[in-house]
Amino acid sequence: MDDTTDQVLTERIQEQERIISNLRERLQAAEENSADYVVRRLRLHGTILLHVAGDMPKYESSVRAEGLERMGEDLISQTWDLDSAPLADDVKAAVKSACNNGLYRW
């Protein structure tokens, strides 16, 4: 190869490496901003999504109907269902009452 060809190929390779680096950064930023990633990070600090209104299938359908696509599926997969919790029924009822179906925030 002559010097000109070598230089052109080197420039093209460098440009492709810049594009790949940029795409990697964008992918990492997108992953870090996904609902799944954020909720998992919150769980490390003791924070969970807890569905308190009962009827988990209805909740899942409602979230999907919101048109959130992937984010909705991420949220569904990270949501805990109070009805499935290993608690006595009176404790579950007390939590539901205290939350007023998610409308109260303490």
pLDDT, position 1: 67
Q: How far is CA 43 from the centre of its chain?
A: 12
80 has pLDDT over 70 = yes
Q: Which residue has the higher pLDDT, 35 or 60?
A: 60
**How many other CB atoms are there within 10 angstroms of residue 52's CB atom?**
21
Same domain? 93 vs 55: yes
Residue 15's pLDDT band (cuts 50, 70, 90): very high
Domain tally, the chain: 2
Domain range enclosing 93: 47-106
Residues 19 and 64 in one domain: no
Percent of the chain with pLDDT over 70: 95
Question: In terms of pTM, does the model score above 0.85?
Answer: no
Mean pLDDT of the chain: 87
